[in-house]
């Protein structure tokens, strides 16, 4: 079964390193490595002085593990109130949110803009990387690459980066051990998803990851190590998006002014029909194309959540496979 | 150092059992054992059909681990909105909240009442146990007794208890193993609070506890096993409360119509003065009397949070020790 998230690497290749330099080359931004995007979020919020009485406006359908991470040092909320101090903008699946209008609203209310690029590492808007937007950004590499774990924080606010670095420096070396343990558990879970107690193993790891600053060295094995590799993967993703768009010109969202580098491609349709198609694709093609909520308005302040078939884009999704599947979906949707 | 929470038992006594029968005898209510209050909360909310788009109104200053548990199956919020479906009423330190007015507001808005008795197992209001109030109640035994872990769910809604029991029955026996592991980790942390990686061990346990239904059998060693033992502990706590009240008649809250069985006794004062007293008591008496937020209005819908010195009441707090400490506090407060 090929899933939405990248597979782990069955053959362990030696760690190549070079990823962060290549990433800096591609994005023009300086990444501060973290165990995962959630930890980057927690340490970023701490550096900005957030505390548990400060509400952060979040979109609905946010995963429990992100909510739980936010609650370490702030208070996530779905409705703005007088306590709102920040807004978490999640660009789903590679699709940028309405940056201009959210930025206006944030400026009007004095909200800090937390730019959640967990799904959206390389998309751009009017020629600028989405990653460069907001007060600080967090990235999750395991959404795009078979690296199991790993994230980063980015910010153009130099004094904030300085504070995060100071917090990191005061931490003990135990972090390296714990992030290695976390990596091994999550890799084992991917290797054997039926393993007994799996859900508790994951809950335990998700319990401590938000406090871990260390990046797992083993993750380098699943990450690209050169600028060329990163650019080739970006080109491949965009090609798949164009392909899917050519099958479903009205069901796949277009974002004018944006260059979308997808983590996955949402195809809209009637919920019950999508669920039926998803189940059949699972049986017939051994592909996991889940039905998930996607904000077709791409504006968390005025969203339009509808269910969509989510087609994966990582390196296991070949062009041929996606074409066959799209033919099938097309037959079922019409 | 004697802390706010009960010590663990340094000598392991054989598990006595009998606690749940005795508890039923004292409260007149049928406890459904759980690993902890957070798990009882999660399974209770699931039985009532809560999902992550349903907001639950919570008081401020709620611990991150409770927020994280609630987020498993609902969405905690500090401000009521059109999404609010329930209200979590936390009776702090043994002091009942304003049951009548909260119940009226809940009825008006159609909110489910989640009765958080983690601190307040035996207090009553107008002759009735606080525990009997609301749609369902959760209890945490480690707040009162040196049992490390253990909680329960109570409800007079028979169909709800039936649903919880059905959910429990479908779960695998792995729960017993994991709750035993959790118990051992938390006991080790209590035994050696300086142990390296302690915070990550706790984060891991807190990560999976909210999903564990099993009650840890080892906890019985730290729990009373007869009705008499429970009643003696209640009498001892009330005596300590009266004693502290006699020293600070205007700084310790009185709750007319209520019988308060304290987990700890809040003494009000000016924040800076309290912090100084707390630090000195720590040095001079080796007692941990922290400064915490307490809602002196006991009404989460219209609260009056102020800092208070929290004096513990568990079995390590002897009358003599509390008297000496109160003498000292009195001298410093005036």
The upper half-sphere exposure of residue B195, i.e. CA atoms within 13 Å in the direction of its Cβ, equals: 14
DSSP one-letter code for B19: H
Residue percentage of chain A with pLDDT more than 70? 98
For residues A18-46, give the mean pLDDT: 97
DSSP one-letter code for A63: -
Contact call for residues A74 and A84 (beta carbons, < 8 A): no
User: Who among A83, A196, A208 is closest to B203 (CB)?
Assistant: A208
Q: Give start-end residues of each CATH 3.40.640.10 domain in chain A.
A: 19-222
- Distance (Å) from the alpha carbon of A81 to chain B's nearest alpha carbon: 7
Residues of A in contact with B79 (CB under 8 A): 55, 77, 79, 81, 83
- Distance (Å) from the alpha carbon of A180 to chain B's nearest alpha carbon: 13
Residues of A in contact with B67 (CB under 8 A): 68, 71, 75
Lowest mean pLDDT among A43-47, A193-197, B129-133: A193-197
Q: B211 and A205: CB-CB below 8 Å?
A: no
Q: B61 and A72: CB-CB below 8 Å?
A: no
- Strand B136-140 relative to strand B112-116: parallel, antiparallel, unpaired? parallel
The segments of chain B whose pLDDT lies below 70 read 8, 10-14
Place of tokens 């080109």: A235
Nearest CA in chain B to A78: B77
For residues A116-144, give the mean pLDDT: 97
SS3 B8: coil
User: Who among A75, A79, A200 is closest to B83 (CB)?
Assistant: A79
Give the separation between CA B154 and CA A212, rounded to whole angstroms: 37
Give the separation between CA A152 and CA A171, rounded to whole angstroms: 17
Q: A72 and B64: CB-CB below 8 Å?
A: yes
- Distance (Å) from the alpha carbon of A79 to chain B's nearest alpha carbon: 7
For B19-222, CATH number? Answer: 3.40.640.10
pLDDT the model gives residue B60? 93
Q: Tell me which residue of B68, B146, B315 sits closest to A203, measured CA to CA.
A: B68
Q: A79 and B78: CB-CB below 8 Å?
A: no
For residues A175-186, give the mean pLDDT: 95
pLDDT the model gives residue B13? 66
The upper half-sphere exposure of residue A9, i.e. CA atoms within 13 Å in the direction of its Cβ, equals: 18
pLDDT the model gives residue B7? 77
Nearest CA in chain B to A59: B53
> Using beta carbons and an 8 Å cutoff, which residues of B are at the interface with A?
52-53, 55, 60-61, 64, 67-68, 71-72, 75, 77-79, 81, 83, 172, 174, 177-178, 196-197, 199-200, 203-208, 210-212
pLDDT in tens, A156-179: 999 999 999 998 888 877 899 999
Q: Give start-end residues of each CATH 3.90.1150.10 domain in chain A.
A: 227-333
Residues of A in contact with B210 (CB under 8 A): 203
ipTM associated with this complex: 0.91
Give the separation between CA A268 and CA A271, rounded to whole angstroms: 8
Give the separation between CA B173 and CA B176, rounded to whole angstroms: 6
Q: Which residues of A270-287 are buried (b: 16+ CB within 10 A; e: fewer)?
A: eeeebeebbeebeeeeeb
Sheet of A75-77: strands edge to edge?
Answer: A32-34, A151-154, A136-140, A112-116, A84-90, A55-57, A75-77
Helices (H), chain B: 19-27, 37-47, 64-70, 99-109, 158-169, 174-191, 198-208, 227-247, 271-285, 319-333
Question: Please, which residues have CB within 8 angstroms of residue A75's CB and are 6 or more apart in sequence?
Answer: A52, A53, A54, A55, A56, A83, B67, B78
Question: Please, which residues have CB within 8 angstroms of residue B80's CB and are 6 or more apart in sequence?
Answer: B55, B57, B109
- Distance (Å) from the alpha carbon of B170 to chain A's nearest alpha carbon: 15
CB pairs under 8 A between A and B: 92
Q: Tell me which residue of A238, A236, A261, A252 sits closest to A329, measured CA to CA.
A: A252
User: Who among A60, A81, A207 is closest to B208 (CB)?
Assistant: A207
Give the separation between CA A55 and CA B73, rounded to whole angstroms: 20
pLDDT in tens, B59-96: 999 999 999 999 999 999 999 999 999 999 999 999 99
Q: B81 and A79: CB-CB below 8 Å?
A: yes
DSSP string covering A244-257: HHHH-TTTS---TT
Q: Does domain A227-333 have CATH number 3.90.1150.10?
A: yes
- Distance (Å) from the alpha carbon of A53 to chain B's nearest alpha carbon: 7
Tokens representing residue A274 in the block: 């999508």
Q: How confident is the model at residue A261 (pLDDT cuts 50, 70, 90)?
A: very high
pLDDT in tens, A292-324: 999 999 999 999 999 999 999 999 999 999 999
Q: How confident is the model at residue A13 (pLDDT cuts 50, 70, 90)?
A: low
Q: A207 and B212: CB-CB below 8 Å?
A: no
- Distance (Å) from the alpha carbon of B204 to chain A's nearest alpha carbon: 4
Tokens representing residue A92 in the block: 């789903």
Q: B79 and A77: CB-CB below 8 Å?
A: yes
DSSP one-letter code for B285: H
| A-interface mutation test, from B38, B68, B197, B303, most A Cβ less than 10 A away | B68
- CA A274 to chain CA mean position, Å: 23
Sheet of A124-125: strands edge to edge?
Answer: A128-129, A124-125, A258-259
């Amino acid at each position: 079964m090929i899933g939405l998230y990248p597979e782990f690497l069955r053959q362990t290749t030696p760690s190549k390193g070079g990823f962060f330099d290549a990433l800096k080359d591609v994005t023009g931004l300086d990444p501060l490595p973290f165990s995962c995007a959630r930890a980057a979020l927690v340490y970023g919020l701490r550096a900005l002085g957030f505390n548990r009485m400060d509400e952060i406006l979040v979109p609905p359908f946010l995963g429990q593990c992100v909510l739980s991470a936010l609650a370490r040092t702030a208070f996530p909320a779905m409705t703005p109130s007088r306590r709102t101090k920040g807004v978490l903008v999640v660009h789903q699946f590679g699709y940028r949110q309405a940056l201009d209008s959210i930025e206006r609203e944030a400026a009007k209310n004095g909200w800090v803009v937390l730019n959640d690029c967990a799904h959206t590492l390389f998309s751009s808007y009017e020629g600028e990387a989405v990653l460069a937007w907001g007060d600080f950004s967090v990235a999750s590499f395991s959404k795009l690459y078979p690296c199991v774990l790993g994230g980063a924080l980015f910010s153009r606010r130099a004094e904030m980066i300085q504070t995060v670095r100071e917090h990191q420096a005061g931490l003990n070396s135990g972090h390296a051990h714990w992030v290695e343990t976390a990596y091994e558990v999550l890799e084992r879970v991917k290797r054997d998803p039926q393993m007994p107690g799996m859900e508790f193993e994951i809950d335990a790891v998700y319990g401590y990851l938000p406090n871990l600053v260390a990046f797992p060295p083993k993750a380098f094995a699943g990450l690209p190590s050169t600028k060329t590799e990163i650019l080739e993967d970006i080109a491949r993703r965009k090609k798949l998006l164009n392909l899917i768009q050519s099958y479903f010109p009205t069901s796949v969202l277009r974002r004018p002014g944006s260059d979308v580098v997808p983590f996955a491609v949402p195809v809209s349709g009637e919920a019950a029909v999508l669920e039926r198609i998803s189940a059949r694709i699972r049986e017939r093609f051994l592909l996991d194309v889940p039905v998930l909520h996607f904000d077709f308005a791409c504006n968390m302040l005025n969203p339009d959540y509808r269910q969509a078939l989510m087609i994966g884009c990582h390196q296991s999704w070949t062009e041929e496979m996606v074409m066959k599947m799209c033919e099938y979906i097309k037959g079922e949707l019409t």
